[in-house]
């Protein structure tokens, strides 16, 4: 199956997430109406965030699956970061709403009603989220989709949130201390903020062209080391990640006496081995003569720092 088709098919997981969010949100709101628990209300509010996030994931996955075009030569994979960033922000806003409601209930406690029914209904919602979260996380890892991975992790946070709320409501039922319910809700909000901040941080790193993960950079270095010898060197390595796609460029230094064909054949072998090591990798190599001092004048990451006189006149565009 072509890669573009595989990416397009990922939207089915977003539809699964949307369906789960609708069902669990309805279940949790019913639980809140039955019991009057602000903890259960906080859980329901987070599910509404899940729904918005799932819709955003569907849009992001649809855009990210589009092939490269004249206006987006490197593809549309970064669209997934916008979805994850928006989800992180919504999670933080939902947490603020939960705290506001919980503080009000902390100041004015209210007795809970029909706790047993409410707990049973919420347990059903937690079970649904648990199953869907595992499906999304596995799909996210398998297809290197930050959108699905973020959605799956968010749902797992929702599962643990539900467990915490259930514990809180259960403690109120056992002890009669009504303020335990809003206290647990505030603890839930703190947990949600941690999840939201993590998503925002990872998304912004992607939008800022962060380098590949350390283990992949080590794998790239190992591949280059297998090709390095007395007549072949490498420097000027740059890497970045955009959603499921990875990009890198590297300078290949060979003897000036080599023919263009020989240098090109080496570059093709290097690129082939790198693509076999890092999934969805786009590689750009730049051939330079080993004996020319100017070849070592642009080893730093930002080649703009190199004096113009030291540059080659035939440089390729940087990635």
Which pTM does this prediction carry?
0.65
Write down the pLDDT at residue 8: 58
* C-alpha to C-alpha distances, 207 to 211, 212, 252, 275, nearest whole angstrom: 11, 13, 28, 23
Query: Do residues 169 and 297 share a domain?
Result: no
96 φ/ψ angles, rounded to the nearest 5 degrees = -65, -40
pLDDT tens for residues 217-243? 999 999 999 999 999 999 989 999 887
What average pLDDT does range 137-151 have in this prediction?
83
Mean pLDDT value across the chain: 80
The domain total for the chain is 2
Query: Do residues 191 and 248 share a domain?
Result: no
Residue 319 lies in a domain: no
- The token duo for 147 is 């959108």
Query: Do residues 225 and 177 share a domain?
Result: no
**Closest among 304, 255, 246 to 275, alpha carbons compared:** 246
State percent of the chain over pLDDT 90.
Answer: 24
Work out the pLDDT band at 278, boundaries 50, 70, 90: very high
pLDDT tens for residues 54-81? 888 888 888 888 888 888 888 888 888 8
Domain extent, residue 179, equals 3-207
pLDDT tens for residues 241-266? 887 789 999 999 999 999 999 999 99
CB-based contacts of 211, cutoff 8 Å, min separation 6: 217, 238, 239, 240, 241
Residue 315 lies in a domain: no
Q: Which residue has the higher pLDDT, 158 or 85?
A: 85
Write down the pLDDT at residue 313: 38
């Amino acid at each position: 199956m072509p890669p573009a088709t595989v990416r397009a098919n990922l939207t089915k997981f977003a539809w699964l997430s949307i369906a789960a969010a609708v069902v669990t949100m309805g279940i949790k709101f019913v639980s809140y109406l039955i019991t009057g628990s602000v903890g259960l209300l906080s859980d329901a509010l987070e599910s509404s965030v899940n729904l918005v996030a799932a819709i955003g994931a569907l849009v992001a996955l649809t855009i990210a699956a589009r092939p490269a075009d004249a206006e987006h030569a490197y593809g549309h994979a970064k669209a997934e970061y916008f979805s994850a960033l928006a989800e992180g922000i919504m999670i933080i806003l939902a947490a603020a709403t939960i705290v506001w409601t919980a503080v009000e209930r902390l100041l004015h406690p209210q007795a809970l009603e029909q706790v047993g029914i409410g707990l049973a209904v919420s347990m059903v919602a937690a079970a649904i989220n648990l199953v869907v979260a595992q499906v999304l996380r596995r799909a996210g890892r398998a297809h290197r989709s930050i959108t699905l991975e973020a959605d799956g992790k968010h749902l797992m946070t929702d599962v643990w949130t539900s467990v915490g709320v259930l514990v809180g409501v259960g403690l109120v039922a056992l002890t009669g201390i009504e303020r335990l319910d809003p206290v647990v809700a505030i603890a839930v909000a703190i947990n949600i903020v941690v999840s939201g901040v993590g998503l925002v941080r990872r998304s912004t790193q992607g939008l800022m062209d962060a380098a590949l993960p350390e283990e992949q950079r080590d794998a790239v270095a190992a591949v280059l080391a297998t090709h390095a010898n007395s007549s072949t060197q490498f420097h000027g390595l740059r890497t970045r990640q955009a959603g499921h796609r990875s990009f890198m460029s590297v300078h290949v230094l060979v003897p000036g006496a080599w023919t263009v064909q020989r240098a090109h054949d080496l570059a093709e072998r290097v690129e082939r081995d790198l693509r076999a090591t890092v999934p969805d990798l786009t590689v750009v190599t730049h051939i330079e003569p080993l004996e020319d001092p100017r070849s070592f004048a642009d080893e730093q990451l930002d080649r703009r720092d190199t004096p113009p006189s030291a540059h080659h006149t035939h440089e390729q565009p940087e990635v």
